Amino acid sequence: MLEENQVIIFISLSSIVFVLSVYLCFVYNKLLIQRKITEEKELEYQEALIKREESIVQSLGIIARAVINEQCDLSEGCIRIKKLKEIIPRLEDNKELKIFNLMYAEIEKFPTLEARNSQSASEKFNQDKERFKIEDVYKNQIVNASKVLLDC
């Protein structure tokens, strides 16, 4: 009788171990699948970041060429370049490009878009005169920094 109970206990425990092993395999496979999905998502994310950076660098090149060729106002080019380059850490840390930050600090006070349109003609004229003075101070440095930006 004792041997019969031992056999039943052994079979029961063996069944439990088997069921737990099957469950463990199931969970492990789920983990492997989840890990693969996570790796794929990470790869997609990295590729998207690279594409985004390439797009920003391309935009910066277009703006830099427009600044160099005097196809856009120096202030507008400076604002656009400053805003885009701060997205890319290697450009934001580049000492040769800090001039955009300096000029931006002086011109950011000027209203734009609707705020500028709501001003009187004399206010616009006075601000333009002040802005042109700032542009004259920074012109050569901004053009040189734009050339550096084309090489980045």
| Distance, first Cα to last Cα, the chain | 86
Q: Tell me the pLDDT band of 5, cut-offs 50, 70 and 90.
A: confident
Whether 24 has a pLDDT exceeding 70, the answer reads yes
Q: Tell me the pLDDT band of 64, cut-offs 50, 70 and 90.
A: very high
Instruction: Compute the average pLDDT of residues 26-33.
Output: 97
Q: What is the pLDDT of residue 1?
A: 66
pTM here is 0.76
Lowest model confidence (mean pLDDT) among 3-12, 48-57, 94-103, 130-139: 3-12
Mean pLDDT of the residues in the chain: 93
Whether 2 has a pLDDT exceeding 80, the answer reads no
Instruction: Compute the average pLDDT of residues 106-114.
Output: 88
The beta-carbon contacts of 91-98 under 8 Å, at least 24 apart in sequence, are: 91/60, 91/149, 91/152, 94/148, 94/152, 96/145, 96/148, 97/145, 97/148, 97/149, 97/152
Helices (H), the chain: 2-68, 74-85, 89-92, 98-107, 113-117, 121-151
Cα separations in angstroms, 103 against 68, 110, 136: 16, 12, 11
Q: Tell me the pLDDT band of 112, cut-offs 50, 70 and 90.
A: confident
